[in-house]
Structure 1
């Protein structure tokens, strides 16, 4: 996950409440994102005469991170979801900057008054890539597989919340029952981690389904070379595109080559040489360069979820002391980090949620502003006195917290600036790298004082995954944070259908999390990509994953 990416599904077990709405537009924003929306910026001075040929039918996508699998149920990475969004259709859709839910493989839906029973009407005439008919049994199979312990589902398991069972009403009607009210469900149905999979293919490939994924989407996986590339080819039978595209039939592109190019300079270079047509994670220092060149377009898209934060372990000395954690937040200047490293391409973060997310609380933005003097006062008051070499000590022990940083996760420079800021107030931060996936279990075990995470999600219920005490051992609560008041708020927020009430609940939770100094918010996250100016028709999901069905060369 690095970005928790692990974090696409909220690992969650809720309790209590209601709501009823029906129809193809259904909960048009009822459980949705806040009004801020996503900022979509397409910067180009291009004309139709740039380098792409009208006859070109292929596209090369330069990705910075390799997928962990191609199985929606078992992935924990946004890197995977970006790829498989082309392979699997979702039951519902939600587009970048919008709060409305749109029909996908589900054409309409109803929600019971207690938000414990959801009824979906399914699209007819749809087939998986292997010819298996898409129907209610396939949806039931998908959900039951996710909750089966043998599947070892990750983000998808959390996204299903307090799932109880599914009932096939008829071939194209399914009811999904939950043990307790589950308000976020329609939102998460727009995410690819809950996309229907072919029962036939799962039974054929078993645990190797992640290397042979079969969905209903506009593209099929031709080959998958781990840590190198994934080749997608057009599904010739595709004839059930979501209505928002305004077109139907097979995709415009014949194939997509998804190349894994982790080195920033190499990835930038492939766009300039024409070896790639789209590159993601455009480094901030290069944004102005690509913007000013008419051969390229730059996309800057704000995303909901959790910003990039440092989680602070509240159980491991010395960060088990609230005063020490608060001092750290005052010591670090996020604005300087963002200005120096990111050239204003990203924004400083100050909250557990991103502004486009329902429930974002702007009132806590100034709870901790850079103030080294106040940081020093807090440390003095907690008994940490300045010692030799400018490092504070208490009872003969130096103030040396440990930051286990995720290797190759674009956080090294941030960690170094945080280390320098803390050093100014007498904290000697130790930096250590560990690679995926072992770093995640390390974080759960808790030898670190600092861990890093960010989280792509279109509902505030993601806070359950990050801060509920049940998520310490196996979830994403790497701060090992346990606060009964926050636990209760997070359960109640996920079980309350009314959006206004949810906002109040999640704002209370955020305020307490920040009072407890459980995280050090660093920067907002964004999709930042550059592409050949002759590429047209690219859309994005609400959590800014590309939708390439209608993408074409001018």
Structure 2
């Protein structure tokens, strides 16, 4: 028997972290509506969205590729979400709603999904959208390397049933499948364009979305223009026809001061990644609003490399865990604009274990005791030694200083020096080489995904960086592998939560990771920019945006 699904729903464990936009500057919560409200006496007038204009949006970094199937960069997602639609849309409450698919069924064994598709939809190059096009996309994702492949999980094949019906077969149940399909990394490309451009499709994207690709000047700007035929927007949108904007231009502006200054001067209409010190200052600017959207996935955490001595010993890792004062780091660097993390999960992710909050507190005396027990004795310079070797921790981080992560490294270096650990910082643009050869002891990162299966690629033993995964800790525990697989396949909500709770507890108890902060996606824009919304991942949605004169 098959179940017809129009909105498979699960409720988030923490309502605070649904991807609603909170306005930190301006006056009140930004509801992202497309109509401006003006108060006149006792009456409230509602004005319609203004048609036309160009929104210039400053990105902090440059996309790698604009082929959703081949990219793995979050910044790329922010661009090609406007070019590509997905089969389904995931709402802020976690429910799944139809988009390019009108409905879908799931077999009782969880291994087969059958999608009914919209008719009368065309790609921006005139190619009809149909089941053959969707199959071509599944085949394309299997042939390239990008995040999309991991989102498909155990998909083994796809079959065209008729022009507007496609069946997708999985080798095993995969509860994160629908969440993956809603991602722009699985946005649907024109099969004609994929074939026409070949390897260069990464620079010539064609989808069914509200904006058409015009040009990409690398490390400078990406220009999109309105798709005049668009009338199949996602269920979360207020707009029902073509974009209100004529053009959408992404400028690549790595310098923080330049990004924010350009918005304040009117040279740009919006900019991402607002530094914490600017958030505080912009609160006093009545012409500017700062949106803060919660991201879902893994918190930014420091991962120990479990292959390297002495960090393969839990006591050594726990000593660092007790010596690092995360509260001080977060308060000092982010001035109350970032939340402190307690788990590998962000609080809005299904299965987040709130019992971990306030579990670990700094205890320098206990940290020193643990290192003493391991035989590491302090020398005359205050650095511990054992068998003629200094106790050294190699801390790897990327350049430039994204989200003040280099500053985190510097503070950690000072905090653990007090227990006799010498920290060698490796701040480099080339993080791939040390991640591949293992010449690091501590490395920080986070990942964005709206399903707890995000951690399978991070902690499963066969997902090491050298094998295309992100198992930075090089964790190899058969019990964790088993739990990760069970979590991916379990359809019972409560059982699934319990599985991921066990994993979160293990990671903290064994000090595999040190959670630091939960990243809020921030955007500064003048109050004349209306209708800017954010999806469940915290990424901006421009379909409803209009610019008031």
Bin of the TM-score, shorter chain as denominator length: over 0.9
Conserved 8 A contact 2:264-2:288: no
Structure 2 residue 67 is matched with structure 1 residue 86: no
Counterparts of residues 305-384 of structure 1 (less than 5 Å): 305-384=297-376
Is 2:100 aligned against 1:105?
A: yes
1:319 deviates by: 1.3
* Runs of 4+ deviating beyond 3 Å: 32-37, 45-49, 53-56
Aligned to 1:67: 63
Q: Is 1:41 aligned to residue 33 of structure 2?
A: no
SS of 2:340's partner is: coil
Match of 2:478 in 1: 484
* Partner residue in 1 for 2:462: 470
Deviation digits for residues 458-499 of structure 1 (CA, Å, limit 9, x no counterpart): 000011011111111321111111111111000010011111
1:244 paired residue among 236, 251, 258: 236
**Aligned partners of 1:218, 1:463: CA distance in 2, in Å?**
32
Equivalent residue number for residue 122 of structure 1: 117
Which runs of 5 or more structure 2 residues have no equivalent in the other structure? 29-35, 39-48
8 Å contact 1:62–1:280 — kept in the other structure? yes
Q: Measure the CA separation in 2 of the matches of 1:143 and 1:507.
A: 32
Partners of 2:293 and 2:521 within 8 A in 1: yes
Aligned partners of 2:525 and 2:133: how far apart in 1?
A: 36
Conserved? CA contact 1:33–1:99, under 8 Å: no
Distance in structure 1 (CA, Å) of the matches to 2:386 and 2:153: 44
CA distances 1:300-350 after superposition (whole Å, capped 9, x unpaired):
122210011111101112312211111111111111111111011001111
* Residue 490 of structure 2 is aligned to residue 496 of structure 1: yes
Partner of 1:139: 134
Q: Which residue of 2 aligns with 1:4?
A: none
Provide the secondary structure at the position in 1 that maps to 2:515. Answer: strand
Q: Per-residue deviation at 1:225?
A: 1.5
From the superposition, tell whether residues 195 and 427 of structure 1 become closer, same or farther in structure 2 (CA, over 3 Å): same
User: How far did 1:270 drift?
Assistant: 1.0
The question of whether the paired residues in 1 share the 8 Å contact of 2:356 and 2:505 is answered with: yes
Deviates more, 1:75-84 or 1:406-415: 406-415
Contact 2:65 2:202 in 1 (8 A): yes
TM-score, normalising length: structure 2: 0.92
CA displacement, residues 118-137 of structure 1 (integer Å, 9 cap, x when unaligned): 11111111111111111111
Which deviates further from its counterpart, 53-62 or 176-185? Answer: 53-62
Deviation at 1:29, TM superposition (A): 2.4
Q: Is the 8 A contact 1:332 1:422 kept in 2?
A: yes
Q: Using the alignment, how far apart are the partners of 1:255 and 1:48 within structure 2?
A: 24
Number of the residue aligned with 2:534: 540
1:205 corresponds, among 192, 197, 202, to: 197
Shift of 1:40: 2.5
Does the C-alpha gap of structure 1 residues 243 and 349 become closer, same or farther in structure 2, counting only changes over 3 Å? closer
SS of equivalent to 2:452? coil
CA distance in 1, matches of 2:130, 2:433: 37
Partner of 2:6: 24
1:380 counterpart SS class: helix
* 1:239 CA displacement: 2.0
Alignment match, 1:442: 434
Residues 492-539 of structure 1 show CA distances to partners (whole Å, capped at 9, x for unaligned) of 100111111110011111111222211111111111121111111112
Asked if 2 retains the 8 angstrom alpha-carbon contact of 1:48 and 1:534, the reply is: no
Q: Which residue is equivalent to 1:164?
A: 156
Deviation at 1:21, TM superposition (A): 4.2
Worse overlay, 359-368 or 171-180: 359-368
Contact 2:297 2:450 in 1 (8 A): yes
Residue 224 of structure 2, aligned match among 227, 232, 237: 232
Equivalent residue number for residue 276 of structure 1: 268
Out of 49, 52, 58, the residue aligned to residue 54 of structure 2 is 58
CA distance in 1 between partners of 2:200 and 2:241 (Å): 30
Aligned length: 525
